[in-house]
Amino acid sequence: MTLNRRTFLTALAGSSLALTVPAELAAASLPERFAAARKDDQGNYSAALFDLERGDIREVLLPARGHDVALRPGGSEWVAFARRPGRFGVAVPMDARKPVWFSARPGRHFYGHGVFSADGRLLYTTENDYDGGRGVIGVRDAGAGYRQIGEIPSHGIGPHDLALLSDKRTLVVANGGIQTHPDRRREELNLAVMEPSLTYVDLETGDLLERHGHPEELRRLSIRHLTVAGDDIVAFGCQYRGDADDLPPLMGFHRRGETLTVIPAPEETQLTLKNYIGSVTADSDGSVVAASAPKGGVVTYWDPKARRFLGSCSLRDGCGLAPTHKGATFLLTSGEGWLLSGSADGLGPRHSTRFHWDNHAILVR
């Protein structure tokens, strides 16, 4: 990686976006660390923990393409997940201990996302019961080598992303609504009748607490990625499987008890999104949400409380988003190798790496 902390900070400070210089980062006794999956020019897949000063701190080679990464509460390790329809996961300690590999049970594959329980004891993963044609949430004991100890329904088809609400007991799940089977690779089998949904699931019982779907005219608006912002507002991004000439709204915001709503970006921006949101994340204080559209080469920013569009910036094949220590500011990653900061005010200078970064990134500390 060619990026280092000094050049990153110097470049930011000298830009027209001086007000976005991460003062908290500069003042912090510990540098920010991030984790993400990626691929190099030779086609080798890996997941890495890195910071902006030293580059890689730890890298783990993956047997195939990875997708998202989850941090275990307490900061002792992070987990990388296989991209759909992969079956591997790997937990990587922060110290020099060996990674712990685990896999989906027979009849299941991962969708690329997972989240830990608030105490870090359990890991929940979105999975496909492909012969049963239903989505499930795998439950694994992180303290026992990630041995699977249970499974609860996602109460939908194609569960992709998930997150924990502040009560530490309610899981919110983005069910894309699209049925697939690993024997058919990534073919989508039920587009005519697909039913995406946002579900709230009781982690202790597996019971469905709430289920919300789109009206009939938005049936093909697959709910894929989500984040929980302040006041437990769930922001979610969609991918449209209807006519390419349609321009449905792609971003939604929801709180329990409300009706599901989706909100368009201004027309000029909406046109550029290519009906595809690839990643959604909230900033460090939950007041701003970023949503990337890698096919359109756009990153958009939203106020989740006001449910209002704040702005956008262009980043070709930009998808990975992670909060930084500075509010309203994000680390952006791209498939073309760039790492840079971004906000509704624009982009910081670009810094090249030798990796093609995958769809997601997280702030580790």
Determine the pLDDT at residue 28. Answer: 52
Q: How confident is the model at residue 136 (pLDDT cuts 50, 70, 90)?
A: very high
Determine the pLDDT at residue 29. Answer: 62
Write out the two tokens for 110: 């991962």
Mean pLDDT for the stretch of residues 136-149: 98
* CA separation for the pair 129, 157 (Å, rounded): 9
The pLDDT tens digits for 201-225 are 999 999 999 999 999 999 999 999 9
Q: Is the predicted pLDDT of residue 98 greater than 90, yes or no? A: yes
Q: 155 in the Ramachandran plot: left (φ > 0), alpha (ψ -120 to 50) or beta?
A: left
Write out the two tokens for 50: 């890195």
* CA separation for the pair 83, 359 (Å, rounded): 10
The pLDDT tens digits for 286-300 are 999 999 999 999 999
Burial of residue 358 (number of CB atoms within 10 Å: 0-12, 13-18, 19+): buried
The pLDDT tens digits for 107-131 are 999 999 999 999 999 999 999 999 9
Q: How confident is the model at residue 185 (pLDDT cuts 50, 70, 90)?
A: confident
Among residues 156, 242, 157, the alpha carbon closest in space to that of 192 is found at: 242
Q: How confident is the model at residue 17 (pLDDT cuts 50, 70, 90)?
A: very low
Coil, strand or helix: which one is 192?
helix
Among residues 108, 114, 110, the alpha carbon closest in space to that of 77 is found at: 114
Contact criterion met (CB below 8 Å) for 177 and 194: yes
Q: How confident is the model at residue 349 (pLDDT cuts 50, 70, 90)?
A: confident
Q: Is the predicted pLDDT of residue 8 greater than 80, yes or no? A: no
Determine the pLDDT at residue 12. Answer: 36
Mean pLDDT for the stretch of residues 13-40: 64
126-135, 162-171, 343-352: which range is least confident on average?
A: 343-352
* CA separation for the pair 263, 239 (Å, rounded): 14
Q: Is the predicted pLDDT of residue 19 greater than 80, yes or no? A: no
Q: Percentage of the chain with pLDDT > 70?
A: 92
Determine the pLDDT at residue 314. Answer: 96
Determine the pLDDT at residue 27. Answer: 44
Q: Is the predicted pLDDT of residue 9 greater than 60, yes or no? A: no
The pLDDT tens digits for 70-80 are 999 999 999 99
Burial of residue 205 (number of CB atoms within 10 Å: 0-12, 13-18, 19+): exposed
The pLDDT tens digits for 27-50 are 456 789 999 999 999 999 999 999
